[in-house]
Structure 1
Amino acid sequence: MAEGARSDVRAPDGTRLAVYEWGNAAGPPVVLMHGFAQSHLCFEPQYRSALAERFRLVAFDMRGHGESGQPHDAAAYQGSRVWADDLAAVMAAKELKRPVLVGWSMGGRVIRQYLINYGEAQIAGINFVASLVIEEPRFRGPGAPKPLPDHLTLEAEIDVAIDFLDGCFGKKPSEAVFRRALGYNVRVPASARRAIAGWSTPAALTIDALRRMTVPVLITHGRQDTVVLPAAAEMAASTIAHARLSWFDDCGHSPFVEDAARFNDELAAFVMASQQP
């Protein structure tokens, strides 16, 4: 399958968001949301799979990432609703009716902000993937992104990206996959990385929003994750009483890549179950 159909959506503040779509236009919609310093390309194991035969797959590069706009003002990456408004803008522009939201790592944090600002009325379900949904510093592992100094050489920026990517995989991908990931990692400017590092949400606010959820929730996490520690998944699951927690025992921070076949099977089953009235 070729690169997904590309369109641009404007966020409320004017930032251009690059949106991609694959698969069955008549199928249940699924929004795939990437992590920090990544892009829509990380979901190749999903959009090049049988998932595209059954579902309408939509992914977008978050602001500052991939082909999307890269605002220079740090405030464009912070605040209580900027990321939520981006997601809402994509859902509205693509006319997505009750999609399932899949958020990997930072993508899950964006979904959290969406829930706080918009609630769950417009979605069918959520799959949190290796995400620090409730921001507790003790759940950040040794592989989590490190604070960046004010000035970095190009060589240092590349080294930072390599170190972070190494930590994203318990089972290393092919060299080709790693090279591509390195390419879209270094595409994210250091200024955007620093600004995103300054964005957080109070744990109490998150917990309140999660406890009010009624839509189906699947929490997917690798037991070997050193970026977001497994305890983060346990806390999220204990907060969302009806959530199902799926452990990938031999995977790290990227179970959707490290064990794509199992991940895709579980996602397909979850999407279908979420369509039930």
Structure 2
Amino acid sequence: MLLFIFRRAVVPLFLLLFSTTLLAQVKHYTVTAPDGVTLAVQESGNPDGRPVIFIHGLLGSHLNWEKQIEDAQLQRYRLITFDLRGHGLSAKPEQESAYRDGARWGADLAAVIEGSHADKPLLVGWSLGGVVITRYLEANGDARISGAVYVDGVVELTPDQIPAHPDVYQDMTAGDLKTHLEGERAFLRLCFYQQPDNDTFQRLLANAALAAWPMQRAVPSLRVSLEKSLTPARVPLLFIYGKHDALVNPQASLARAKQANPRIQSMIFDNSGHAPFIEESDRFNRELNEFIERLQAK
């Protein structure tokens, strides 16, 4: 009996030590986009595991994915994050033209895949990260990836898919600093049905304060062609939405995505808003792990 108890205790202890070791071995480097923008990249987890590339959303950074990076099950994989142009530790061009063309965002992702030497990565994109994946697929197809997960992903920037919050978006692009910051605070509050703890929210707010103002003004002009990106895709595609998303309309977005590609799988998180990977992180991590396992079984 004592031996049985000891053996059961050793397994979680091993996972804890294994997880702590992996977290301590975060690798930082940069890659350069075709137009010269420098992108900050981070890696953790198992360097020999299946690559998973996480792409954050508007006003975020790689720190958005902490609950995934710290998850013991997901640390079996090679976990790659990067800061989008105009965000976090990546370069922040001052010209709006550096952000208006969606092809540049897709090319950034291609540069990360190339620079990290990731073999058939799974792409996981939140919100604006969905547009980044779509523009990548539009230019490159799906030959170099194993699949994609859209997390409350923006499918198209159209009125039926993007609920109107005119006062918030107007404040976010205001020239007055106080108004600008209050707009970003309001935007972040809209991200959540279950509001995060204060420490997490303050970190997200700091992320937002780092984001380039020209980028925020230019992003609404981004366009995609689903018929050139989602329609031809043959790799598994999973779309996850929070039921209470206030920033992206789940029903309209899913309907449009499935119109472009009926093979898309979908999942609704009943207790989440725009950020189920934070609001229901345990379930999200479990579902993501199971999706990766299904990819590996093929």
TM bin, normalised by shorter chain, reads over 0.9
Counterpart of 1:108 (choices 126, 130, 141) is 130
Say which structure, 1 or 2, has more relative contact order (CA 8 Å, 6+ apart). Answer: 1
Whole-angstrom distance in 2 between the partners of 1:238 and 1:199 = 20
1:29-48 map, 5 Å: 29-48=51-70
- State whether residues 126 and 152 of structure 2, in contact with CA within 8 Å, keep that contact through their aligned partners in structure 1: yes
- State whether residues 219 and 243 of structure 1, in contact with CA within 8 Å, keep that contact through their aligned partners in structure 2: yes
Could you tell me which residue of structure 1 aligns to residue 245 of structure 2?
Answer: 225
Structure with larger Rg: 2
1:239-258 map, 5 Å: 239-258=260-279
Whole-angstrom distance in 2 between the partners of 1:150 and 1:80 = 19
- State whether residues 152 and 241 of structure 2, in contact with CA within 8 Å, keep that contact through their aligned partners in structure 1: yes
- The root-mean-square deviation of aligned C-alpha atoms, in Å, is 1.7
Query: Alpha-carbon deviation of 1:180?
Result: 0.2
Counterpart of 1:18 (choices 20, 30, 40) is 40
Structure 2: gaps spanning 5 or more residues:
1-22
1:167 aligns with 2:167: no
Counterpart of 1:98 (choices 107, 117, 120) is 120
Whole-angstrom distance in 2 between the partners of 1:224 and 1:256 = 14
Query: Alpha-carbon deviation of 1:3?
Result: 8.0
Whole-angstrom distance in 1 between the partners of 2:78 and 2:72 = 11
Could you tell me which residue of structure 1 aligns to residue 223 of structure 2?
Answer: 200
| Number of residue equivalences | 274
Could you tell me which residue of structure 1 aligns to residue 235 of structure 2?
Answer: 215
1:89 aligns with 2:111: yes
- State whether residues 54 and 125 of structure 2, in contact with CA within 8 Å, keep that contact through their aligned partners in structure 1: yes
Counterpart of 1:263 (choices 263, 284, 291) is 284
Output one character per residue of 1:83-122: Cα deviation in whole Å (capped at 9) or x when no partner. Answer: 1111111111110000000010000100000010000000
SS of the residue corresponding to residue 31 of structure 2 reads strand
Output one character per residue of 1:237-274: Cα deviation in whole Å (capped at 9) or x when no partner. Answer: 34322221111012100000000000001111111212
- State whether residues 141 and 229 of structure 1, in contact with CA within 8 Å, keep that contact through their aligned partners in structure 2: yes
* Percent identity over paired residues: 35
Counterpart of 2:90 (choices 51, 54, 68) is 68
Query: Alpha-carbon deviation of 1:234?
Result: 3.3
Letter in 1 for 2:273: G
Structure 1: gaps spanning 5 or more residues:
none
Richer in helix (by share): 2
Could you tell me which residue of structure 2 aligns to residue 185 of structure 1?
Answer: 208
Letter in 2 for 1:223: K
Provide the TM-score with structure 1 as the length reference.
0.94
Could you tell me which residue of structure 2 aligns to residue 131 of structure 1?
Answer: 153
SS of the residue corresponding to residue 230 of structure 2 reads helix
- State whether residues 24 and 52 of structure 1, in contact with CA within 8 Å, keep that contact through their aligned partners in structure 2: no
- State whether residues 55 and 125 of structure 2, in contact with CA within 8 Å, keep that contact through their aligned partners in structure 1: yes
- State whether residues 184 and 205 of structure 2, in contact with CA within 8 Å, keep that contact through their aligned partners in structure 1: yes
Whole-angstrom distance in 2 between the partners of 1:208 and 1:84 = 13
Letter in 2 for 1:264: N
- State whether residues 106 and 132 of structure 2, in contact with CA within 8 Å, keep that contact through their aligned partners in structure 1: yes
Does the C-alpha gap of structure 1 residues 78 and 51 become closer, same or farther in structure 2, counting only changes over 3 Å?
A: farther
Whole-angstrom distance in 2 between the partners of 1:126 and 1:245 = 12
SS of the residue corresponding to residue 88 of structure 2 reads coil
Provide the TM-score with structure 2 as the length reference.
0.87
Whole-angstrom distance in 2 between the partners of 1:157 and 1:256 = 26
- State whether residues 134 and 207 of structure 1, in contact with CA within 8 Å, keep that contact through their aligned partners in structure 2: no
